[in-house]
Structure 1
């Protein structure tokens, strides 16, 4: 069954096939773990369309300062810049295309840190605008911008 959307989806988002079981599983784990520990400090959002001066994008997750939802009005495309975005490499994406998007769209817009999650090797790299990378393959992932800490073993829990 094909669904049609009542709002425009950015071409660069529409053309990318990003869905897979592992991708969805990781996105769920991250959203749950982040919300469980940081829901009073941050809003944790999934698959939100952003329109930055640097271009339109839809990160897998994003972290913004805590804000209440207004159930009477909604935003289809958000212009507020997240503090952190999280991108999960999918089987049909190249690492270069994903890092290109991060460095050409996310950081120029003012995003302070980006988590790059690579499922096949169970790693998370926290990328910073100055091209510094903090790579985690075991232990605790620590984002120096937000202070968020997550156990890698819980993120990749089977």
Structure 2
């Protein structure tokens, strides 16, 4: 049986954070909770153990689920509908998209938001390799129906 420490070291491919990354992650979580908390569970930095591999997306959007404060989960088996990945300064775009296509989509994740802070864009990736890119206007997820103004996501 793996210990919690051994389980957590399996997430080695995860990136380091930064101020802007953390600010953006917190801001996205706030905006999503503000508008969609009754429909979805919006979770940050949660460890998932998919059949395709272990991963820790910046945010995960799951069907609404009630927290059980007496029984916690260190590594979650549920599959999110959508994950959100924010490119960090020390992370390559290739390594991030590789993780998305090798771990998230094979597990059953339906859409992944790829957020690139330096150019203030969001791309929604889909399992069939289609993507929808947003450099202005409203970011609209075709899977969840979630919509956020890009200007609000990157509000300073």
Give the structure-2-normalised TM-score. Answer: 0.95
Quote the residue 1:52 is aligned against: 50
**Match 2:86 to one of 85, 88, 95:** 88
**Is the contact made by 1:10 and 1:56 (CA closer than 8 Å) also made in structure 2?**
no
Unaligned runs of 5+ in 2: none
RMSD: 1.3
User: Aligned-pair distance for 1:18?
Assistant: 2.0
Between the two proteins, the alignment pairs up a number of residues equal to 153
Separation in structure 2 between the aligned mates of residue 16 and residue 146 of structure 1, nearest angstrom? 25
User: Aligned-pair distance for 1:138?
Assistant: 0.5
User: Aligned-pair distance for 1:15?
Assistant: 5.4
Quote the residue 1:79 is aligned against: 77
User: Aligned-pair distance for 1:42?
Assistant: 0.1
**Match 2:128 to one of 130, 139, 156:** 130
**Is the contact made by 1:49 and 1:78 (CA closer than 8 Å) also made in structure 2?**
yes
Separation in structure 2 between the aligned mates of residue 107 and residue 16 of structure 1, nearest angstrom? 17
Give the structure-1-normalised TM-score. Answer: 0.93
Separation in structure 1 between the aligned mates of residue 21 and residue 77 of structure 2, nearest angstrom? 25
Unaligned runs of 5+ in 1: none
Separation in structure 2 between the aligned mates of residue 68 and residue 126 of structure 1, nearest angstrom? 27
